[in-house]
A and B are shown apart, each in its own frame.
Chain A
């Protein structure tokens, strides 16, 4: 599974760098990549977790926890998107969910295998 960790490392690295660059430029590179320096730094931290796992003897732990982090941030942005929709309804503004889409949401499916593995370990291993 190291190859999958390496892919996740590269994807989160590129996505994080794009968000940081967009943030510093003050303009989005694409509609999926918001100009968000801190959001980008968080993605870079996730990529660092995957990278650390590539060189660590307990590589699975890093792969699983990195996936969990990616899942947490993806779900966080999805909740934020839904909150924006609800807010638009309350204040009577127009809302287009496409405007709130972020690359982290697209990455959610990639994080699911690692997170499921972690959940399985939670069930199988003593606490």
Chain B
């Protein structure tokens, strides 16, 4: 042992001696939080418990919301039916397909989103989520993220925009940039309608499981990309996690509903602006030139068809045709528009879209579409916030590029594997 080490050992011995004389240890009474923490932070069952609770959240959102979605569906189909009787064909098409169709496609997915928000809020208010951050911290450090990244990543399940803004709490610049760059891979609520529709149509009994798989895939990809960014671009290692664990509480229904309502309002505001305008734009593209499409009946002659056919050669190896191409292009604006676009192209109301997609997609190509929707370019709003928070077009361009390439590669793999497995 060298002199410096001996000095350090002697110092600590002296410190121990002084502390032993002047500090009295008091046995801390066992708390309710201690009881629960023994289980949820256990090294063997902690992460499985976290995964099963997340599965319960999405199962709750998917299963319980069905009657509410159907009620909205029935209502808007009724409105569209009445509007379609108007004598002026242009006005009838605009009102039934553009206006009521647009609202219907957006609002029919409000119940699953609302129920997922309610479940997540309940989980948050119990005080479990900080424990979840603690449980996954070790895994996050391994992939080049720090524990503080967990909260923005978790918020990403709701909406990537506030999630990316929440990265401001991360002090280290490299940690913050990596968290921003991989955050769009966390599956936001806008992507849920696509999963709900396709998983429900193709994997009826296992729909909840398929949706969960999509979320898990997003998490895995975020981990992989964070590792690559840390290793090849930023270097260094993430800073350690220090956080206070609040005591467990029993959430009240009122407070859970009020907190959820705040999140639901964000979706409704988006629905009333971006999504509705997007739906009207897609109606315009699907029905114009008005004469060439014979009032929206010959979709093959529409602007939407031209866009779809331009994209088709790129997506055909994924088992997707031009109709999916149009929907994915529409999804650049906002992911919720994907479903409405498909229904408009197939010329069905929101009640018929689930039946029609089974004729245009296979289970494998449905999985490929869900995978692309999960990974490819986040919506315009998210891209704007990424640019704002990264403060550079170069980094934003990198996010855009890697997500497009990654979406294509992963969807190709998913399609190939699913085609073999489901043969």
Query: On chain B, which size bracket covers the interface?
Result: 35 or more
* B115 CB, nearest partner CB in chain A, Å: 10
A-B contact count (CB 8 A): 104
Say yes or no: is B136 at the interface (Cβ < 8 Å to chain A). no
Which chain A residues border B70 with CB–CB below 8 Å? 87, 90-91
Q: Indicate if the CB atoms of A62 and B209 lie closer than 8 Å.
A: no
Other-chain contact of B36, A23, A41, A46, A61 (Cβ < 8 Å): A61
* A79 CB, nearest partner CB in chain B, Å: 5
Contact with A along B38-66 (1 / 0, CB 8 A): 11101011001101100110011001111
A52 to B206, CA, bound (A): 28
Say yes or no: is A112 at the interface (Cβ < 8 Å to chain B). no
Q: Indicate if the CB atoms of B40 and A65 lie closer than 8 Å.
A: yes
Say yes or no: is B394 at the interface (Cβ < 8 Å to chain A). no
Say yes or no: is B247 at the interface (Cβ < 8 Å to chain A). yes
Say yes or no: is A21 at the interface (Cβ < 8 Å to chain B). no
On whether A121 and B33 interact (CB within 8 A), knowing A52-B45, A90-B67, A127-B247, the answer reads no
Which chain A residues border B59 with CB–CB below 8 Å? 76, 80
A123 to B45, CA, bound (A): 26
Say yes or no: is A69 at the interface (Cβ < 8 Å to chain B). yes
Say what secondary structure dominates the interface of chain A. Answer: helix
Other-chain contact of A38, B36, B39, B44, B208 (Cβ < 8 Å): B208
Say yes or no: is A48 at the interface (Cβ < 8 Å to chain B). yes
Q: Indicate if the CB atoms of B60 and A76 lie closer than 8 Å.
A: yes
Q: Indicate if the CB atoms of A76 and B31 lie closer than 8 Å.
A: no
Say yes or no: is A83 at the interface (Cβ < 8 Å to chain B). yes
On whether A38 and B206 interact (CB within 8 A), knowing A52-B42, A127-B32, the answer reads yes
A66 to B59, CA, bound (A): 19
Q: Which residue of B lies closest to A125 (CB)?
A: B32
Other-chain contact of B209, A38, A58, A60 (Cβ < 8 Å): A38
Other-chain contact of A62, B39, B51, B67, B206 (Cβ < 8 Å): B39
On whether A36 and B209 interact (CB within 8 A), knowing A90-B74, A125-B31, the answer reads yes
Say yes or no: is B17 at the interface (Cβ < 8 Å to chain A). no
Which chain A residues border B63 with CB–CB below 8 Å? 76, 79-80, 83
On whether A127 and B206 interact (CB within 8 A), knowing A76-B59, A76-B60, A80-B64, the answer reads no
Chain A residues with CB under 8 Å of chain B are 23, 34-39, 41-42, 45-46, 48-49, 52, 56, 58, 60-62, 64-66, 69, 72-73, 76, 79-80, 83-84, 86-87, 89-91, 118, 121-122, 125-127
8 examples of A-B residue contacts, CB within 8 angstroms:
A36-B206, A38-B212, A48-B45, A61-B35, A76-B63, A83-B66, A125-B31, A125-B32
Which 4 residue pairs across A and B have the least CB separation, nearest first?
A38-B209, A80-B63, A127-B247, A87-B67
Chain B residues with CB under 8 Å of chain A are 29-33, 35-36, 38-40, 42, 44-45, 48-49, 51-52, 55-56, 59-60, 63-67, 70-71, 74, 205-206, 208-209, 212, 247-250
